[in-house]
Amino acid sequence: MKSLLNNLKFYISSILFIIILISCEELFEMSSEDLQGRGLITKSLTHDGVERTYIIYIPNSYNEDNDHPLMFNFHGFGGRAADFLYSADMRSQAERDKFIVVYPQGTDLGGFPHWNSSAPSADNKSSADDIGFVEKLITKISMDYSVNSDRIYAAGFSNGGFFSYYLACNSEKFAAIGSVAGTMIDDSFQNCNALVPTGMINIHGTDDYVVPYNGDGGGSTSIPKVLEYWRYFNSCSVTEEINDSSNGPVTQYNYYDDNGGLYVQHYKETGGGHYWSKGLTFNGKNTNDLVWNFVSKFDINGIID
């Protein structure tokens, strides 16, 4: 009888051990999967000895067997990625069109996070290597997730918009860019070295007193000059002007090349100020829609057929 009880205890202990072992394996598998999970994830990497953070959104529609477009969105001067996420929230677009969106955090400058939007010069706010950080971030994200390297985009607000132009001028990784209430630093404008066809969308208000529409005469290039540069760079010779009857103050300008390709687009908000959205819509599309719908038509070789 005693022998039978001992055998029974051993049997029960063995079963419990197996159950615990299986549970631990399942927990490990869940933890591993969570590292590549969906939704908003805050991550960091070290560049030039500085720990840099970013918020990445992996849509529920993400499939590791497919390559996904990658959309960067840069906050303005003094901004925080966590706050900007809600102003420039592209999560619904990411779910619908199956792309990854990332909100990097600029380095701190006396309490004001920022982006350097020109080569090292007096126009820069600091010595932070932001373009190196972004390119390292592209490499890191491409290692962690399935990314379509031909479809990487950048957009930004204010200082983040300045930085998007700088990326287009100095990195061959971006297929298209967008700027909202931002422009080009004169230094970057005069020394732009863009090498690939690059789609560009610009949204700007005429009463923006932070980044004036017609330039400030002290380092910020006027929007008309910026449009002229990107029009010529992309060989755009045809201009189309469209007014949205439901939102009269906003005028859309489309610039086409000789083959009918829409490479440059501008939304001029008469009376508009310094903000990402503020309720701006055009034909029912808000700022997030307008930016994504435009840039997503491009890959690194130009307009997607």
Res. 20: pLDDT tops 70: no
More confident residue, 157 or 30: 157
Q: What is the mean pLDDT of residues 32-58?
A: 82
Residues 108-129 pLDDT 10s: 877 889 898 877 666 666 777 8
pLDDT number for residue 216: 84
Predicted TM-score of the model (pTM):
0.86
Q: Which residues contact 273 (CB under 8 A, 6 or more apart)?
A: 205, 207, 208, 209
Residue 246 burial by Cβ neighbours in a 10 Å radius (0-12, 13-18, 19+) = exposed
Q: What is the mean pLDDT of residues 65-79?
A: 96
For the chain, the three-class secondary structure string (H helix, E strand, C coil) is CHHHHHHHHHHHHHHHHHHHHHHHHHHHHHHHHHHCCCEEEEEEEEECCEEEEEEEEECCCCCCCCCEEEEEEECCCCCCHHHHHHHCCCHHHHHHHCCEEEEECCECCCCCCECCCCCCCCCCCCCCCHHHHHHHHHHHHHHHCCEEEEEEEEEEECHHHHHHHHHHHHCCCCCEEEEECCCCEHHHHHCCCCCCCCEEEEEEECCCCCCCCCCCCCCECCHHHHHHHHHHHCCEEEEEEEECCCCCCEEEEEEEECCCCEEEEEEEECCCCCCCCCCCEECCEEHHHHHHHHHCCEECCEECC
Q: Yes or no: say if 280 and 217 are a contact pair by the CB < 8 Å rule.
A: no
pLDDT number for residue 34: 41
pLDDT number for residue 37: 77
| 219: confidence class by pLDDT, cuts 50, 70, 90 | confident
What average pLDDT is seen over the chain?
87
Q: What is the mean pLDDT of residues 43-62?
A: 93
Residues 258-274 pLDDT 10s: 999 999 999 999 999 99
Res. 6: pLDDT tops 90: no
Superfamily of domain 38-303: Alpha/Beta hydrolase fold, catalytic domain (3.40.50.1820)
Radius of gyration (C-alpha) of the chain in whole angstroms: 24
Residue 209 burial by Cβ neighbours in a 10 Å radius (0-12, 13-18, 19+) = exposed
The residue with tokens 């923006």 is 208
Can you give the residue ranges of every domain in the chain? 1-35, 38-303
d(CA 71, CA 155): 8
Q: What is the mean pLDDT of residues 125-135?
A: 85
Q: How far is the CA of 57 from the CAs of 39, 71, 172, in angstroms?
A: 5, 10, 24
Residues 89-114 pLDDT 10s: 999 999 999 999 999 999 887 788 98
Q: Cβ–Cβ contacts within 10 Å for residue 127, how many?
A: 9
| 248: confidence class by pLDDT, cuts 50, 70, 90 | low
pLDDT number for residue 245: 62
Res. 42: pLDDT tops 80: yes
